[in-house]
Amino acid sequence: MTEPADTSILLETQRLVLRRFTESDAPLLFELDSDPEVMRFVGKFGLPSVEAYRERIRDVWMPYSAHPARGFWAVIEKASREFIGWIVLRPAPDYRFATQAGWTRASDLELGYRLRRSAWGRGLATEVAKELVCSALEDPAVTCVVAAALITNRASIRVLEKAGLRYVRDFAIPGFGDPSVMYAICRTGCQPP
C-alpha cells in the first residue's frame, strides 16, 4: 500500500523542505523575530508573545493553505532538520504596503522571506526563491512575481536578482527613512505593476 502524500510539504530543494505552518511553530517565529539583526530591515513588526504568533499562524497564515501553492511556509534545513525561517508567496495586494508599492492585481504574487542569521550567506534564500518563482510562473493565472526590500538591504536585493527578478522602481514606506525597491519577473506579455 502506498503512503498518502504529505500535503503539508510544498516542495523540497537540494538542502531545504518547505512545509505549512502549524500553531506549534509559534515559539520558532517568536525566537526568529526577537533577533534585532533579523528585524533590522523589517522594522518593529514582531509580535509581543508566542500566543500572538499562534494567533497569526491560525488567523492569517493558515487560510492561505486553501490554495496548494500559495501561503507561508516554514523553511526546514534537511541536514539538521532545523527551522531556519519562512518564505511566502501570496497575492501581492495582501502585502501590508501594497498601496505604496502599487500592487493591485491579485494575479501578481508577492515573494517574501525571513531567515535566521545562521542561514545567511549560504545561498539558502536564493535556492528556495528560485524554485518558488519558477513554480509560480508555471501557473497561467499568475502575471508577475513581485518583491520589495529596503534599498539598504543589499543581501535581500541580491537574492531577488539571483531568483530572476529585476528592478522596477523605488517607493516610500511610512516610518522608514530609506526607500524600498520593487523587483518583479513577469510572464511574457505582462507588465509589472
Q: Can you tell me the distance from the alpha carbon of 123 to that of 8, in angstroms, rounded to the nearest whole number? A: 24
Q: What is the pTM of this model?
A: 0.93
Q: What domains can you pick out in the chain, each with its CATH number? A: 9-186 (3.40.630.30)
Residues 6+ away with beta carbon under 8 Å from 175: 43
pLDDT recorded at residue 1: 41
Contact status, residue 114 vs residue 84, Cβ threshold 8 Å: no
pLDDT tens-place values along the chain, 193 residues long: 433 345 588 889 999 999 999 999 999 999 999 999 999 998 877 899 999 999 999 999 999 988 888 999 999 999 999 999 999 999 999 999 999 999 999 999 999 999 999 999 999 999 999 999 999 999 999 999 999 999 999 999 999 999 999 999 999 999 899 999 999 999 988 899 8
Q: How far apart are CA 114 and CA 175, in angstroms?
A: 20
Three cell numbers at 5? Answer: 502524500
Tell me if residue 96 falls in helix, strand or coil: coil
Report helix, strand or coil for 184.
Answer: strand
